[in-house]
Structure 1
């Protein structure tokens, strides 16, 4: 059996990822993935199940008002969730079922922890605001992960329409969404694959910022589902019960603003694409 090095594990990291993962999770996950890959036969799917079990333990801790324990176990759950992907890429043992299991497991973990957090604080204080908080966290997370695949379908539809109109040899240089829209799928499932030089017409500051972030493997959209989860289930519980509603509200507002911004950019891009297609159709009729 091949022995892997830490450099091999580092090669399995996504080219660009969320800043929370890059700075606070990957340094631990890579070192955990190394002995798992070299000394065990644990499969990525088994790691995903372990991550889900830890997520359920975190939810139970939050429900019993053990906020610090819940935050620590949630972090461990997410870290193991990162380890499974690294082991799968390292050994080439990933499966389509594993992708589904990872995706669904993440959603179950968030719903359980949101419910546990809401129940624990409501039982302690009787404040309905915590019930609303738990429901809002679950709904916002589900919206994020329902919206992203639909945006991906739009991207694929535009790509197919372009290829159908221009022929297979005329694939666009700017990728399926062109320069106007970067990839927007779930962070766990899709890397930020848009090259830096494909973000034209942006002010110089933002180009420099994007290059700086890329050098550190950080995605240009700084608020995603991962940061949202970290704020609600790790940072806020560690800070104390007083921080739960303010931090969750702030993180949720930023995530929702990011989603609205991505949808707006997609709408503008599809509108330009429709105008261009209409113009090409008229020119074709005139010729």
Structure 2
């Protein structure tokens, strides 16, 4: 999930800059890849780069891109809660969420392309991310309750548990960055000196929001979707448990 920084810079590119030149500039304005899961690192950021370049040439601000991202994500979430599961619905939900996530990357890239931004823009981006992370799983619970042919209502606990785990993980990540910044320690997205290993990106793939977006294409086979969705919850819960121990130790090493 990217941090958007809105900026008062001129709304569009210079008259001589081509789309390809804008993409090239964006290539040098990327966040560090350390700790980034595979989909976010290798797919979403590249999609976001193209969308950021398009938004730049269209004269959009980062906050406008954040708003468009929120609209796509909200549409996918609403469909989950309001429409009975089917293959076409799965494709529509996944498409909305994937585009929304790519635009979530684009807003931060656009801000860096324009030279920086404001705390208000970053606040807006994180608020949208927090609302999206919680409401997505609640929409899954509503959809299961309304349309699911479940042998045991206990399955409804899966999206509720996912909502809690996702919320704690998101808050913990933001809190870690805030405490590191407060004590003058670079956050992960600023650590460019360390090599970001591909293996680590693959190992943390189950925690990737982008992978979760893609899983919704399975809505046409509810039992399969619920099985994969539950496995992702188990993997994220295990990651959170291990990461929490590591983070606590790291916070303990920060200067008083």
Aligned residue for 2:189, secondary structure, equals: coil
Aligned partners of 1:268, 1:50: CA distance in 2, in Å? 39
Hey, what does 1:234 align to over in structure 2?
214
Hey, what does 1:5 align to over in structure 2?
22
Matching residue within 191, 194, 211 for 1:193: 191
Structure 2 unaligned residues grouped into runs of 5+: 1-12
What pairs with 1:112-127 in structure 2 (closer than 5 Å)? 112-127=135-150
Q: Which region of structure 1 is more displaced relative to structure 2, 71-80 or 237-246?
A: 237-246
Hey, what does 1:222 align to over in structure 2?
204
Conserved 8 A contact 2:39-2:211:
no
Q: Which region of structure 1 is more displaced relative to structure 2, 234-243 or 43-52?
A: 234-243
Q: Does 1:81 align with 2:81?
A: no
Conserved 8 A contact 1:44-1:93:
no
Aligned residue for 1:41, secondary structure, equals: coil
What pairs with 1:144-223 in structure 2 (closer than 5 Å)? 144-152=169-177, 155=180, 159=183, 176=185, 190-191=188-189, 193=191, 195-196=193-194, 212-213=197-198, 222-223=204-205
TM-score by length of 1: 0.68
Hey, what does 1:41 align to over in structure 2?
59
Aligned partners of 2:202, 2:170: CA distance in 1, in Å? 19
Q: Does 1:100 align with 2:86?
A: no
Deviation of the 1:133 alpha carbon = 2.3
Aligned partners of 1:261, 1:269: CA distance in 2, in Å? 13
Aligned partners of 1:232, 1:211: CA distance in 2, in Å? 22
Hey, what does 1:257 align to over in structure 2?
238
Aligned residue for 2:117, secondary structure, equals: coil
Structure 1 unaligned residues grouped into runs of 5+: 161-175, 178-182, 184-189, 197-209, 278-287
Aligned partners of 1:141, 1:269: CA distance in 2, in Å? 21
Aligned partners of 1:267, 1:62: CA distance in 2, in Å? 36
Q: Does 1:18 align with 2:18?
A: no
Conserved 8 A contact 2:26-2:49:
yes
Conserved 8 A contact 2:73-2:100:
yes
Conserved 8 A contact 1:122-1:131:
yes
Deviation of the 1:154 alpha carbon = 5.3
Conserved 8 A contact 2:91-2:216:
no
Conserved 8 A contact 1:51-1:77:
yes
Q: Which region of structure 1 is more displaced relative to structure 2, 95-104 or 27-36?
A: 27-36
Q: Which region of structure 1 is more displaced relative to structure 2, 73-82 or 262-271?
A: 262-271
Could you list the per-position Cα deviations for residues 14-69 of structure 1 after superposition, in whole angstroms to 9, with x for gaps in the alignment? 2213311222222322222222212x121100111111111110012212132221
Aligned residue for 2:56, secondary structure, equals: helix
TM-score by length of 2: 0.75
Aligned partners of 1:54, 1:211: CA distance in 2, in Å? 30
Give the superposed CA RMSD.
3.1
Q: Which has the higher contact order (CA 8 A, sep 6+)?
A: 2
Hey, what does 2:5 align to over in structure 1?
none
Aligned partners of 2:136, 2:42: CA distance in 1, in Å? 23
